[in-house]
Amino acid sequence: MEHFKINPAGRYVPLNRTALSEGSRFFENRGRTLKYLRELDPDRMLYNFRAAFGIDTLGAEPLGGWEAPDGLLRGHSTGHFISALSLAYAATMEEVYGDKLRYVVHELRKLQLMSKGDPAAFETACTPEDAAQEKWSRDPGCWGEGFISAYSPDQFALLEKFTKYREIWAPYYTLHKIAAGLLECHKRVGLEEALDVAKGIGGWIYRRLSPLSAEHRRKMWSLYIAGEFGGMNESMSRLYDITGDERFLETAKMFDNDNIFPGLAEGRDTIANLHANQHIPQLIGAHREYMATGDEFYENAAKNFFDIVTGRHMYAIGGVGQGESFRDAYALAANIKDDTNCETCAAYNLLKLAKELYAFDPDNSVYMEYYERALVNQILASQSPVQTPERTGGVTYMLPIGPGAERQYSDNYNSFTCCHGTGMENHVKYQDASFFMTDGALYINQYIGASMESAPLSVSIRGGFPFGEAEIRLVFRRDFTVRLRVPRWCERPFPGLEMEGSYAVLRGKVGEEKSVKGRFDYSPRLEFTPDRLDGSAVAALLYGPFVMVVRNPSKEWLTLSGDILDRLRPLSEEDVPALTDGEHTFVPMYTADSGPYHAYFKISED
């Protein structure tokens, strides 16, 4: 009997049916990440796995940062590497990425098959007070069938003893990144061996967690960082969707966070002052559980979470948090610091959540409004355009927004972090949410220069961001409707088309070729924080879709006149939108890749 499933309203046109156009910062960023993925040595990415299983590391050098041989989170970046290779291969169909992908997955499968025994039977020789790695198991024969990681199961056993962060570090988070990469590989590339490894992981988790009570698991997941599990409920729900195996749905539910889900389902803010990226993936998982069960509890939790985050905790660039945590609702200005806001991983995961929610409600453009905001102001800005022998595609951990903030970037091998991992993925999938297809309509949501091919029609977008004009060319292979999102910051970019809600509508007949020109008039506006700072109003300046910044080294807040909008005039600065008030030059966030800048300002009310 076919298992239950709530289906979305349509599907995103896959990367292998789209292409990113040349001549934009999007294309340039993608090129740098593709180059980095070509250069990354897969044997170095497998070093810690082979070392853990006691086999030859083939002369490879170990990695640095969180992937160092004694790092407690080691192995998570290899999961991101698999995801990134899958995206790169789907986007380009170049075998250099496919060959690396198949090699890494196959090597992990060989190691996984070395793990033997009952997963629930493994016991650690360590205690919460003495968790030294020298005492960790070296025998895969007792680790449990299906286990694969870059360290033994000791961290998992220690978590069950409620061992705190710094003694251990988020073992299920690490395992989720590996599982997520394998499932991305199966989804984008269709590699069955990747699914085999993912099913082995799911089976190991099911057998390991089943003997524990719900209360025991709840206490584990509430532990700060130690209990962080990424989106394991998402991956287990996806495994259930693919296989129909009820064990995986049961496993997904084992990761329900009963500390925050019930309140969110009722519309209450239960996330204030919690670690942001520890919880965002959990709500992606909650929505996947809704798809698998039809239980509106999960749907309400995910939707309310998105609304609460974007309405009460979000900065203008689409990022959230200070020092990795949500703060009190509406307390934004009070928590702007020089370099500790807006963790890049958090934006990565909020984009995934927006994409998931939109697929069930495509006429509601609010999710794609957020997607545009975070994509062009945080993700696009999170990569350095400057390449060195040590830094091919360096990315940010935080994307700072405080006075005189300056970005710091990772290097190729010695500064692996969570955001370096998601950074490998971010820049090879820019057009991943641009085109959404239902049975009767194509929704065009992002105006990035790109093209796509499908059975009903083909589309080519020329121009687009950062330029204020785009030409959309369409060739219809059958009668079909195209719905073009009208951004909230722009009035009537397609004046010849009728409007339905937030979309301009174009209908085509089989054999027709049409061209639509969109003019996206940029106008400046201030976006104020809900709170004041030292009695002053605080705001970001936006120009069309772009958050505008001032390059200035001062660590003191800059103050703009209350009539700033009346005094701004457009400038042309190297083919990017720019403004001046006669005293300052304002440029888009993504262009301030080097040197200090200001993204928020005090606004004089005199």
458 shares its domain with 589: no
The string of pLDDT tens digits covering residues 310-367 is 999 999 999 999 999 999 999 999 999 989 999 999 999 999 999 999 999 999 999 9
Residue 81 near residue 98 (C-beta atoms within 8 A): no
- Would you say residue 405 lies in a domain? no
- Cα separation of the two ends of the chain: 70
467, 499, 519: which is the final residue of a domain? 519
The string of pLDDT tens digits covering residues 509-567 is 999 999 999 999 999 999 999 999 999 999 999 999 999 999 999 999 999 999 999 99
Number of domains in the chain: 3
The order of strands in the sheet holding 435-437 is 11-12, 435-437, 441-444, 480-485, 503-508, 498-500
pLDDT at 575: 79
- Would you say residue 363 lies in a domain? no
The string of pLDDT tens digits covering residues 88-121 is 999 999 999 999 999 999 999 999 999 999 999 9
pLDDT at 25: 94
Encode 285-321: b = buried (16+ Cβ within 10 Å), e = exposed: bbbbbbbbbeeebbbbbbbbbbebbbebbbbbbbbbb
pLDDT at 467: 84
80 shares its domain with 225: yes
Mean local confidence (pLDDT), 576-595: 95
The string of pLDDT tens digits covering residues 227-277 is 999 999 999 999 999 999 999 999 999 999 999 999 999 999 999 999 999
- The share of the chain scoring above pLDDT 70, in percent, equals 99
pTM listed for this prediction: 0.97
- Would you say residue 40 lies in a domain? yes
515 shares its domain with 528: no
88 shares its domain with 179: yes
pLDDT, averaged across the chain: 96
153 shares its domain with 180: yes
Three-class secondary structure of residue 75 per DSSP: coil
- Would you say residue 329 lies in a domain? no
459 shares its domain with 539: no
pLDDT at 606: 72
Mean local confidence (pLDDT), 75-86: 98
Reported as type and span, the H/E element at residue 547 is strand 546-551
151 shares its domain with 128: yes
The string of pLDDT tens digits covering residues 380-414 is 999 999 999 999 989 999 999 999 999 999 999 99
More confident residue, 2 or 64: 64
| pLDDT higher than 90, residue 439 | yes
Mean local confidence (pLDDT), 462-476: 92
pLDDT at 1: 45
- Would you say residue 16 lies in a domain? no
Structural domain for 472, as ranges: 435-519
188 shares its domain with 91: yes
The position carrying tokens 């990761």 is: 255
Confidence class of residue 464 from pLDDT cuts 50, 70 and 90? confident
| The 3-state secondary structure of 144-189, one letter per residue | CCCCCCCCCCHHHHHHHCCCCECCECCHHHHHHHHHHHHHHHHHHH
108 shares its domain with 238: yes
| pLDDT higher than 60, residue 447 | yes
DSSP 477-529: SSSEEEEEE--TTSS-SSTTSEEETTEEEEEE-TT-EEEEEEE----EEEEE-
pLDDT at 4: 77
With a CB cutoff of 8 Å and minimum separation 6, the contacts of 388 are: none
The string of pLDDT tens digits covering residues 296-306 is 999 999 999 99
235, 254, 273: which is the final residue of a domain? 254
| pLDDT higher than 80, residue 76 | yes
Confidence class of residue 198 from pLDDT cuts 50, 70 and 90? very high
254, 281, 312: which is the final residue of a domain? 254
Give helix 95-112 / helix 171-189 axis angle, nearest 10°. 130
CA-CA distance, 361 to 173, in Å (whole number)? 30
pLDDT at 465: 86
CA-CA distance, 197 to 530, in Å (whole number)? 47
How many Cα atoms occupy the beta-carbon half-sphere of 565 within 13 Å? 13
- Would you say residue 11 lies in a domain? no
| CATH at 514 | 2.60.420
- Would you say residue 476 lies in a domain? yes
- Would you say residue 23 lies in a domain? no
166 shares its domain with 41: yes
86 shares its domain with 179: yes
pLDDT at 142: 98
pLDDT at 517: 95
CA-CA distance, 167 to 153, in Å (whole number)? 14
pLDDT at 398: 97
Torsion, Cα of 67, 68, 73, 78 (10° steps): 30
pLDDT at 68: 98
44 shares its domain with 82: yes
CA-CA distance, 286 to 297, in Å (whole number)? 9
